[in-house]
Amino acid sequence: MDLKTLSADIKLSIVEDRDLSSLNLEGLDFSGITLKNINFKGNKLERVLFENASLENCDFDATILSQVSFKKCKLISCRFRNAKIYWSDFRYAEVSQITLEGAKIDYCDFYRTFFMGVGIFRKTRISNSSLYYTYFDEGSTLRKENIVDNKILQQDKDNYEKFLTDWNLYGTGVRTNNQQCVSDWSPMSSLRSRYADAEDIYKNLNGLWTSKGFLSDSNWAYVQGKRMERYRMFSELLYEKNNFYIKIKKVLSIIMNFFLDMFFGYGESMRKMIFTYIVVVCVFAYIFYASNDVSVHTYLRAIGISFKNMVAITSDEVSSVSPFIDFLNVVQTTIGILLTGIFGFILGNKIRNQ
C-alpha cells in the first residue's frame, strides 16, 4: 500500500481492508469518508483529520496520536489498546464498542462524546482531558482508577487554562461547534464556571457508577461533586451580582456544605466521623472541668463523664448541679445520639461497599 493508492481510495470516499501501519500519514485528511478494517497499528499519526468520517473495525493499537481530530465521526468496534493520544478532538463523536485498554490519554476533548455499547477502559489513564457532557452508557467499564491522580481537568486551574488557551497551538486548531461556527466564549468565563462543570461531571459519574454497582467509586464521585458544589457557590458569590437575600442564603449553604464535609465527609468518611466524636467529647469535658459548678479534679475524669453523656449515662458529678450544667447534659446527650446514628450509617455504608 502506498500514498498514491491511498489518495485514490480517499477520492472514492471509502478506504477498506488496508494496512496503513507503515505509511507516513502526517497531515492527511480522511474527513467525511468511510474506513473499514484499516490497520494503523504502531503508526504515528500527527495532525490527521477524521472529521465526520465513519471508522469501523480500525486498529490503532500501540499507535501515537497527536493533534488528531475525530470530531463528529463514528467509531465502531475500533481498538486503541496501549495507544498514546495527545491533544486530540473527540467532540460530538459517536463511539461504539471501543477498546481503550492500557491507553494513555492526555489533553483530549470529549465534549458531548457519546460512548455506547461495551467500552473497555481497563488500565486506561486519562489526564488533563475534558469529560464535560460526555455520555457513558451502562456498558462502559470506566472506573475511578482511570482518572489520573483522582482529579479531573477542571480542578486544575493552570492545566485547564492551558487546555483552553493553547488548543490552537497544540491541539487541532480553532475550536468550532457542531455547526462549524466559532463559539462565542472566553477562556476567562470558562475558568470561572469550571467548578460548575466539575460538579456536573462528578454527579454524572456518580449516577453511572451507582447504576453499575461500583459503590466505592460512586461514593467518591458523590463527595467530589458536593465539594465542587461548594466551590461553585463560592465562585458565584464572588462573580455574580445577586441581591442581599440570595447572597446570605448562598453563604449559609456554603457554611453548611463545609460543616458536613469537615466533620462527616458527607456521610462517607469514618475517619472524620471518629474525629468529630472525639472533639465533642473533649470540648464538653473541658467545659465540665473548667466549670465552678462541677467538682471534677482531673481532666481525665472529665473525659469519662463526657463520654458517658454521649451514651446517655449521666454521672453524679454533673447531675442536678445547676440549670446550665443540666442543659449541657441534654445538649451533649442529644448530640451523642445523633452522632451514634450517623456513625452507624457510615459504618453500614463501609461494610456494604466492601
Share of residues in the chain with pLDDT > 90 (%): 64
Over residues 304-317, the mean pLDDT reads: 85
User: Is residue 183 pLDDT above 70, yes or no?
Assistant: no
Range with the largest mean pLDDT of 99-108, 212-221, 324-333? 99-108
DSSP 43-93: -EEES-B-TT-EEES-B-TT-EEES-B-TT-EEES-B-TT-EEES-B-TT-
Q: What is the pLDDT of residue 181?
A: 67
User: Is residue 114 pLDDT above 90, yes or no?
Assistant: yes
- Residue 109 DSSP one-character state: B
Confidence of residue 244 (pLDDT cuts 50, 70, 90): confident
Homologous superfamily of the 3-188 domain (CATH) = E3 ubiquitin-protein ligase SopA (2.160.20.80)
User: Is residue 178 pLDDT above 80, yes or no?
Assistant: no
- How far is residue 268 from each of residues 224, 262, 281, 313, 352, measured CA to CA in Å? 11, 11, 21, 28, 12
Domain residue spans in the chain? Answer: 3-188, 270-353
Helix (H, G, I), strand (E, B) or coil at 254: helix
Q: What is the pLDDT of residue 24?
A: 94
Bridge partners (DSSP) listed for residue 160: none
Output the pTM of the full model. Answer: 0.87
Q: How far apart are CA 4 and CA 247, in angstroms?
A: 66
Q: What is the pLDDT of residue 345?
A: 86
Q: What is the pLDDT of residue 28?
A: 93
Q: Read off the C-alpha cell for 16.
A: 477498506
User: Is residue 184 pLDDT above 70, yes or no?
Assistant: no
Confidence of residue 200 (pLDDT cuts 50, 70, 90): very high
Over residues 35-63, the mean pLDDT reads: 96
Report the candidate in 28, 228, 124, 231 with the shortest Cα–Cα distance to residue 15: 28
**pLDDT tens digits along 3-44:** 888 888 889 899 999 999 999 999 999 999 999 999 999 999
User: Is residue 110 pLDDT above 90, yes or no?
Assistant: yes
User: Residue 176 CB: number of other CB atoms within 10 A?
Assistant: 13
User: Residue 226 CB: number of other CB atoms within 10 A?
Assistant: 20
User: Is residue 128 pLDDT above 80, yes or no?
Assistant: yes
Over residues 141-152, the mean pLDDT reads: 94
